Amino acid sequence: MSAYDELAARWQRVMMPNYGTPPVALVQGKGCRVWDADGKDYLDLLAGIAVSSLGHAHPAVVDAVSHQVATLAHTSNLYLHEPGLRLAERLTGLLDTAAEARVFFCSTGTEANEAALKLVLRHGSTIGRRRIVAADHGFHGRTLGALSLTGKASIREPFGPYGTDVVFVPYGDAQALAAAVDEHTVAVLLETTQGEAGVVPPPEGYLVAAREICDATGTLLWLDEVQSAIGRTGYWYAHQADGVLPDMLTLAKGLGGGLPIGACIGIGPAATAFQRGDHGSTFGGNLVSVSAALAVLDTIEADGLLDHVREVGATFAAGLAAVEHPLLAGVRGRGLWLALVLTDDVSAVVEQYARAAGFLVNAVAPDAIRLAPPLVITAQECREFVDALPGVLAGAQQQLDTARVGP
Ligand code: PLP
């Protein structure tokens, strides 16, 4: 029995079935590589779903977290701490605005969105509006508030009805957005690129149009950058590439480099919409997670990782796009946040063949493979996957052909 088989059997006895049994048990990571319980190594092209921005066991994160946990790990928000202030100052300072901006810290992306939803409702109660316009196929989290705004009907509908007044519009269609936003709308919620839908960017100009529609109607623009922020696209915040400024911004994933931290940032009126007692979190802004986030920001800055992501991402995308195979329709995305677009609903098989070849990738949609590697990945490491891709696709093709012909 392999080490994996033994662990998988234990998993099936004790863990809830919501995830299904994961196909690999990981035990160690270094840089962009991870090792499984049976000693096989993989190039990690997913980074724990766009989280481990500096890769695994990065010395800056290890040092910061080790020092902090040995000094003071947790205070709750009954007491303030300077690293939390520094992180809030850094995050607001990275915005392209001199307007007032304020931060609420939490531990996950879902919680950042829950905070933002309450902020929107609080602001809405002062101006007599409640409705939120969100996008079809959008993803904002699994708790009931965030789920009510999630445009994936298959995961939203089993748990409704919800109390949120929400209208869904097709993502990327500025006319549909304009038609849906009116005097009842308090906020428009969008991802800068829809990550869980399959790394689907909007058409050029869509976010600018959304900003204009919000300005014309006195509506807040809330961008969910849980997956896209902190360097993933080669910008601190993905919206900076579009030249728009949101009124609210939610972050998590890559911010902590593997430690759990999320943030809801309000800009302008949204900065001060919460009153004392309106919201809270015991762990939010935990010192250990904050120290990791500061190390992530410092390292991105010191090592020029934004430029690196833009350059390596463009080379990676071009290399992947040059691979010719009937299963591969193309590549989409920006920076180190890419999707291989497949010609058929075969992503699960492609993911499996990639894993067998030593690459962790993600079947994010039936016809799309997501790549979101650590921001520190080298051009050489990207090349390894580009070189292996024809063999991975050929393996997947062969399995499909066999399945279709039958025994
Ligand atoms: N928002 C977006 C855009 C996401 O991609 C995700 C997770 O994939 C979430 C929210 C939820 O974040 P978390 O899983 O950290 O709660």
Shortest-distance atom of ligand 1 to CA 191: 3
Beta-bridged to residue 22, according to DSSP, are none
CA of 265: how far to CAs of 59, 229, 250, 313, in Å? 28, 12, 6, 27
pLDDT of residue 124: 97
pLDDT in tens, 167-216: 999 999 999 999 999 999 999 999 999 999 999 999 999 999 999 999 99
pLDDT of residue 406: 67
Strands 101-106 and 41-44: unpaired
Task: Return the ∠ at Cα 317 (arms to 312 and 323), rounded to 5°.
Answer: 130
- Say yes or no: CB of residue 92 within 6 Å of ligand 1: no
Ligand 1 centroid distance, CA of 74 (Å): 24
Residue 82 has pLDDT above 70, yes or no: yes
pLDDT in tens, 5-58: 999 999 999 999 999 999 999 999 999 999 999 999 999 999 999 999 999 999
Describe the strand order of the beta sheet including 185-191 as a list of residue ranges: 101-106, 262-267, 248-251, 220-224, 185-191, 131-135, 166-169
State the chain's mean pLDDT as an integer. Answer: 97
Ligand 1 centroid distance, CA of 325 (Å): 32
- Say yes or no: CB of residue 110 within 6 Å of ligand 1: yes
pLDDT in tens, 248-282: 999 999 999 999 999 999 999 999 999 999 999 99
Pocket test for ligand 1, best of 143, 191, 193, 226 (most atoms within 8 A of CB): 226
pLDDT in tens, 25-39: 999 999 999 999 999
Give the ranges where 104-253 is alpha helix by DSSP (H): 109-127, 144-148, 153-156, 174-180, 206-217
pTM of the complete model beyond 0.85 = yes
Beta-bridged to residue 340, according to DSSP, are 331, 369
Burial of 219 (0-12, 13-18, 19+ CB in 10 A): buried
Residue 403 has pLDDT above 90, yes or no: no
Over residues 133-142, the mean pLDDT reads: 98
Ligand 1 centroid distance, CA of 50 (Å): 10
Per DSSP, which regions of 170-302 are E strands? 185-191, 220-224, 248-251, 262-267
Please identify which residue in the block is written with the tokens 């709308």. 185
C-alpha to C-alpha distance for 284 and 74, rounded to whole angstroms: 10
Ligand 1 centroid distance, CA of 236 (Å): 17
Q: 3-class DSSP state for residue 106?
A: strand
Beta-bridged to residue 44, according to DSSP, are 360
**Positions marked active-site:** 139, 224, 253
Whose CA is closest to atom 13 on ligand 1?
Answer: 109
303: left (phi over 0), alpha (psi -120 to 50) or beta: alpha
